[in-house]
């Protein structure tokens, strides 16, 4: 059953990549309410984004569909990975 906090915390109910709307989501806790969720996802998915972009030369739209994130996020994570790579050299 839907927890009242979910509706209160997300009144616009736009959903996310896990569900088209908060009211239809099957997750017990909203991903936006999980501590460190985005950082864990970034660490987990960035190597795949870089691999696809560098080896397959796919568009940001294609990469985002393959990995399950938005195009701007894929591009941002790729740029951050490149900056971190340059900073280590």
29-38 long-range Cβ contacts below 8 angstroms, 24+ apart: 30/6, 33/9
Domain residue ranges of the chain, discontinuous segments joined by +: 4-33, 37-88
**What pTM did the predictor assign?**
0.65
Lowest-confidence pick of 20-34, 43-57, 66-80: 20-34
Predicted local distance difference test score (pLDDT) of residue 2? 45
């Amino acid at each position: 059953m839907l927890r009242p906090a979910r509706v209160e915390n997300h009144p616009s109910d736009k959903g996310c990549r896990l569900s088209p709307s908060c009211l239809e989501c099957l997750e017990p806790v909203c991903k936006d309410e999980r501590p460190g969720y985005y950082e864990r996802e970034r660490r987990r998915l960035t190597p795949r984004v870089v691999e696809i972009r560098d080896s397959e030369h796919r568009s940001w739209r294609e990469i985002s569909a393959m990995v399950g994130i938005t195009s701007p996020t894929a591009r941002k994570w790729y740029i951050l990975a490149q900056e971190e790579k340059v900073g280590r050299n």
